[in-house]
Structure 1
Amino acid sequence: MNYTTFIQPKEAAENLNNPNFLFIDCSYSLADKNWGATEYEKAHIPGALYADLHDDLSGEIIAGKTSRHPLPQKEALVKLFSNWGIDKNVQVVAYDATAGFMAAARLWWLLRWAGHENVAVLNGGKGAWTAAGYPLTNAVRSLQQKDFVASFNDNLLASATEVLASIEAGNTCLIDSRTADRYAGQNETIDPVAGHIPTAVSKPFNAKIGAEGVAEPSVYKEHFKDEYAKGNVVFYCGSGVTAAYNVLLSVYAGYPIPKLYAGSWSEWITDAARPVVTGA
């Protein structure tokens, strides 16, 4: 069986010794970039590799031009996935320390962008895995390099130019995945400009997630119903990371995979000519 959105801890544990399953720990904290790697070194799912949001799942930051977490170059991603031992037969299971899935969803999206569909996020993260009594270890897995054959789908991406044009044309439903206060321009402590992109609606990435993980797909089908009824859905967030979680949820709900404005708010505001609004 292939898993393409979420996998439950029990299902993952049943495949712990499956040579075609690869677990990847994506735990990360924006407040402390070393935290995730330290947590991985302490204890992780047996056989799991570690993916660093900043070093592995993001590209080079160019001040005044890119987001805080720009997409990696395609060549770099192919090399990374090959080094990790991912080929067409490998089922990737990405997970975070908690049920937030922030960086795990980013890895899920990067692999889908690169054409690899057999990737799922562990529902509930390492917390749910541990609560279920499944094992952890501090042993480090040896790399087993394979040839990752990519087929990048750039139709999954929206550029700042496209977003601006869609605002003027009124033909796109733009969804802001940040928390509601940041969308409204309140309590902005991360980016130098507060507010959101005009016409965007607020759908915080963590609005429908509990400590145990995700609910049934029908919950998210309803959650995004009005937005998908408008068509041409594009998600964004602060730097293109948490928006990937909303993309994952929408696919889990049964909707077609939407576009991601990967540059997101932190790229949008690098050009003062791009419009900004505040308020709920």
Structure 2
Amino acid sequence: MSPLIEIEELRSEKGPIILIDARAGADARQRYDAGHLEGAQFADLDKDLALLPQDAANGGRHPLPPIENFAKKLGGWGITPDSHVVVYDDKAAAFGGARLWWMLRAIGHKKVQVLNGGLKAAVDAGLPLSTEPYAISAVAPYPVPANFAGTVDIEETGKAAKERHKMVIDVRETPRYLGQMEPIDLIAGHIPGAENLPYTLNLDEKGKYKSPEELEAAYTKLLGDVKPDDVIVHCGSGVTACHTLLGMEYAGIKGPKMYVGSWSEWSRRDLPIATDQK
């Protein structure tokens, strides 16, 4: 199953779908209440897809929730291992959309897709919006493994950034990577040795993912002879990194891991910081 689903495919889907609106921000619930895709349930990035509050120096700004909490939340949404889940947000999957996709994949769920182009593409295509909250019958907690798969910690990330046969990719905007600005975290810059490939480069001018061929060309140019299993992706807090991990899977590149703590953790640990263009 492709990690992305197009509007036309969503419209023509015959089987049951569990639709999740995963918009982010302090007013995300209000935006959902003001208009969401018909039949969509609401996922709160900060409460459902992360553990808050926390010490960002130990886990970053959006650490993963305890896996048993996530299992209960999935059950509350009516999700079982056989469910076909479709997720969207209003930032072309850059916030909660790709994060929930990645979390489900990290517990082994197979049938999960992100709506390509998100809410804007749906509205442009004439899909109806609703102001009514939607919930389906809850089921038992999802049978999760012991841990989320495909993650690495701060120590492994720091080591990988120094090794020639491994690669750490920072998907934040280039001015943040270069230390020219930092609107969220305390210190600007990047992990020494990390490469920069902004997640926005995954998208075309319409706010949809580029074709698998275009994405593969961009990723393989950067990776060179580094194997996908030796790639670590991070961002500011482990959210937009999922956008690139989704793009990589869409391009057929499987195996890269995520450093969840990301820059929000690294920059608070009195570790080396670079501001040069690698």
Paired-residue identity, %: 34
Give the aligned partner of residue 127 of structure 2. Answer: 134
Give ranges in structure 1 of 5+ residues lacking alignment. none
| Cα drift, residue 138 of structure 1 | 1.2
Report the alpha carbon displacement of residue 170 of structure 1 after superposing the two structures with TM.
3.7
Deviation of the 1:14 alpha carbon: 2.0
Q: Which moved more, 1:254-263 or 1:100-109?
A: 100-109
Q: How many residues are aligned here?
A: 271
Please report how far the alpha carbon of residue 98 of structure 1 lies from its aligned counterpart in structure 2 after TM superposition.
3.8
* SS of residue paired to 1:189: coil
Pick which of 179-188 and 221-230 moved more: 221-230
Amino acid at match of 2:19: F
Separation of aligned partners in 1, 2:86 and 2:255? 19
| TM-score (normalised: structure 1) | 0.91
Q: CA deviation at 1:155?
A: 4.5
Structure 2 CA distance, aligned partners of 1:156 and 1:209?
Answer: 24
Question: Cα RMSD (Å) of the superposition?
Answer: 1.7
CA distance in 1, matches of 2:88, 2:74: 16
The answer for the alignment partner of 1:57 in structure 2 is 49
Whether the 8 Å CA contact 1:177–1:242 is kept in 2: the answer is: yes
In structure 2, list runs of 5 or more residues that go unmatched: none
Give the aligned residue type for 1:53.
Answer: L
Partner of 1:122: 115
Distance (whole Å) between structure 1 residues aligned to residue 157 and residue 71 of structure 2: 28
Q: Are the equivalent residues in 2 in contact too, given 1:115–1:152 (CA < 8 A)?
A: no
Aligned counterpart, 1:269: 267
Work out whether residues 109 and 244 of structure 1, in 8 Å CA contact, stay in contact via their aligned partners in 2. Answer: yes
Cα drift, residue 166 of structure 1? 2.0
Q: 2:32 aligns with which of 25, 33, 40?
A: 40
Separation (CA, whole Å) in 2 of partners of 1:131 and 1:154? 35
Residues 136-145 or 76-85, more deviating? 136-145
Post-superposition offset of 1:100? 4.5
Higher mean alpha-carbon deviation, 256-265 vs 53-62, is at 53-62
| Cα drift, residue 215 of structure 1 | 2.0
Question: 1:5 Cα deviation (Å)?
Answer: 0.6
Q: Structure 1 residue 61: deviation in Å?
A: 3.5
Superposed displacement of residue 168, structure 1 = 4.0
Query: How big is each residue's C-alpha offset from its partner over 1:74-107, in whole Å with a ceiling of 9 and x where there is no partner?
Result: 1111011111110122111000124253210000
1:238 matched residue in structure 2: 236
Whether contact under 8 Å (1:67, 1:264) holds in the other structure is: yes
The answer as to 2:154 corresponding to 1:160 is yes
Q: Deviations over 1:13-63 (max 9, x none)?
A: 223x74x3111001123xxx12x2111101111110011111111113322
CA offset digits 1:220-269 (Å, max 9, x no partner): 10110034431211000000000010000000000113100011011112
Q: Of 15, 22, 29, which aligns to 2:18?
A: 22
Q: Secondary structure at the match of 2:46?
A: coil
* Kept in 1: contact 2:94–2:239 (CA 8 A): no
Q: Give the SS at the match of 1:140.
A: coil
CA offsets, 1:115-158, max 9 Å, x none? 11211110011111111112111121123112322236654011
- For the 8 Å contact 2:162–2:193, the answer to whether it is kept is no
Aligned CA distance change for structure 1 residues 199 and 230 (closer, same or farther; 3 Å): same
